[in-house]
Amino acid sequence: MIRAATTSDVPEIRAMIRELAAYERAAEQARATEEQLHEALFGEHPAASVLIAQDEDTGEAVGYALWFPRFSTWTGTRGMHLEDLYVRPHARGAGHGRALLAALAAICRSKGYERFEWWVLAWNEPTIAFYKSLGVELLDEWTVCRLSGEPLEHLAAEAPAVVDRLPAS
């Protein structure tokens, strides 16, 4: 069963985020608190949405998908960015990941989104094979860029004064 997350799911979502980070060999980077997730998912201006894969027999949350809208200047339309897709190891192979992706594809279709995009680690061959079985196009010509920490602070210090007059988001 796939369902929208509720506020009572936040502790379980956080637990699965930490499990995903450990699987991706980056456990120390999963620092989000329950309070931050609650605000990001259910606050006045939600930043993202979550679907939960729930075992129909036990009621256990066995996976989740966290996504948010994005915008393409090329198509002039919104799309979907999948930030996290995770199914707990003991529940893999039962169709939960495919069901989560199918639910997200249906959301894309219902909202008129033309693109549904996400990243996958290059070493994660089982997941890449799964995605390929769905017909996913791998965009090898693109490289993800990230600016954080001290380099972000240094570049921000160079910002022109106009930044102070931008609307808050």
Residues of the chain scoring pLDDT < 50: none
pLDDT at 164: 61
pLDDT at 143: 85
pLDDT at 163: 57
Tokens of 153: 């602070």
Instruction: Tell me the residue range of the domain where 113 lies.
Output: 2-165
Domain count, the chain: 1
Q: What is the CATH number of the domain that holds 140?
A: 3.40.630.30
pLDDT at 100: 97
> Rounded to whole angstroms, what are the CA distances from 4 to 10, 64, 66, 163?
12, 10, 10, 36
pTM of the predicted model as reported, rounded to 2 decimal places: 0.89
SS3 call for 84: strand
**Active-site residues: which are they?**
131
pLDDT at 139: 92
CA angle 6, 63, 132 (to 5 degrees): 130
Radius of gyration, alpha carbons of the chain: 18
pLDDT at 142: 87
